[in-house]
Amino acid sequence: MRKALVCLLIASSLPAFAEPSKKAAGEGGHRAAPARSLSDCTAFEQEDKGDAAVSLTIHNSCTIPVDCTVSWRVVCAPASKKRRAEHPGSQKLALVEGTASSTEASAAVCGDDAFSIDSIEWSCQPNKE
- pLDDT reported for residue 124: 96
- pLDDT reported for residue 129: 81
Q: Where do the H-state alpha helices sit in 2-68?
A: 2-18, 38-41
Q: Which residues of the chain have pLDDT under 70?
A: 1-36
Nearest to 52, CA basis, from 127, 118, 117 = 117
Task: Count CA atoms within 13 Å of residue 44 on its CB side.
Answer: 16
Class of domain 38-126: mainly beta
105 near 117, Cβ under 8 Å?
Answer: yes
3-state secondary structure of 24: coil
What is the residue extent of each domain of the chain? 38-126
- pLDDT reported for residue 37: 82
- pLDDT reported for residue 24: 42
**Whole-prediction pTM value?**
0.70
- pLDDT reported for residue 28: 55
- pLDDT reported for residue 30: 58
